[in-house]
Amino acid sequence: MILSGRHSQSIAAALARELDEPLAPVEFDRFPDGELMAQIGQTDGERAVVVASTPTSDAHLELLQLQDAAREAGFEQVVTVLPYMGYARQDRAFAAGEPVSARAVARAISTGADRVITVDPHEEAVCDFFEPSATAVTAADQLAEPLPDDLTDPLYLSPDAGAIELAETVRDAAGGGEVDYFEKTRHSDSDVEVTPSDAAVEGRDVVVVDDIIATGSTMSEAVGVLDDRGAADVYVTCVHPLLASNAVTKLSRAGVAAIYGTDTIERPQSEVSAAPAIAAALERR
């Protein structure tokens, strides 16, 4: 059976269709003191697949509860799918006294899981924080699908060197074009500087590809630079469209033609599904 977290209802339903497995009834509640209760109804089967992105701290807690409820209900195997793993970007202590948050949450999640699958983690090395280690799958090839098929001399750019493989994957799935990347310097959460690549952009359609759009600072800076340099239409696409706070407004003000993402985070921009990639990983074993 598929057990859906609060933030993963569409992707869980898509996965249930892909696997032809039933969706378990799930209820989410909150006690007057603020404590959460994620509860499952009538279930049966040997394997529970808990599908729960964790973009909030509450979502982490609800995931732990769903894993535990699945054990209580008697499932022999509990697989945990993290379409989006929150806290994964804090994958090391960047300054003295900081935690490795990704390791802390991975340890907690591991205690309730026989197997863990996640989608395009910020750094694949976070998979090693799980015990046993998690499997990372990619949904980046899906990101080509919503792009217009008549892009003019397309250039696929990543906002930093770390996302260039994603840009290459989208380029390959879209059928060709040049790939390059910006140099990025982050001064604070909302103050990001991107240094243009050498690629000529004037009159060309540009697709900027990243793993996550969070505050939109990185992408809006990139869109602004491309606009200043005479690019034609600039599209931004990402696996995890967190789009926190005023990110959409920032991107729109910067002149973006469209924003696309997958359903690892459920937003109006979630044009494509990561469910087929997850289903394929589940079926491999």
Annotated active-site positions, please? 184
Q: Is 120 in the site for ligand R5P (CB under 6 A)?
A: no
Q: Is 211 in the site for ligand R5P (CB under 6 A)?
A: yes
Nearest approach, Cβ of residue 30 and ligand R5P (Å):
28
Please say which residue, 115 or 240, places its beta carbon nearer to ligand R5P. 240
Size of the site for ligand R5P (CB under 6 A): 16
Q: Is 192 in the site for ligand R5P (CB under 6 A)?
A: yes
**Interface with ligand R5P by CB under 6 A: which range of 4-12, 71-79, 99-107, 209-217?**
209-217
DSSP secondary structure, the chain, as one string: -EEE-GGGHHHHHHHHHHHT-PBPPEEEEE-TTS-EEEEE-S--SSEEEEE---SSHHHHHHHHHHHHHHHHTT-SEEEEEESS-TTTT--S-SSTT---HHHHHHHHHHTT-SEEEEES-SSGGGGGGSSSPPEEE--GGGGGTTS-TT-SS-EEEESSGGGHHHHHHHHHHHT--EEEE-EEEESSSS-EEEE--SS--TT--EEEEEEE-SSSHHHHHHHHHHHHTT-S-EEEEEEE----TTHHHHHHHHT-SEEEEETTS--TTEEE-SHHHHHHHHHT-
**Interface with ligand R5P by CB under 6 A: which range of 19-27, 154-162, 225-233, 270-278?**
154-162
**Interface with ligand R5P by CB under 6 A: which range of 72-80, 107-115, 131-139, 213-221?**
213-221
Q: Is 241 in the site for ligand R5P (CB under 6 A)?
A: no
Q: Is 265 in the site for ligand R5P (CB under 6 A)?
A: no
**Interface with ligand R5P by CB under 6 A: which range of 141-149, 157-165, 224-232, 272-280?**
157-165
Question: Which one among 5, 112, 121, 159 touches ligand R5P, defined by CB under 6 A?
Answer: 159
Question: Which one among 118, 218, 262, 270 touches ligand R5P, defined by CB under 6 A?
Answer: 218
Interacting residues toward ligand R5P by CB under 6 A:
122, 159-160, 162-163, 192, 210-219
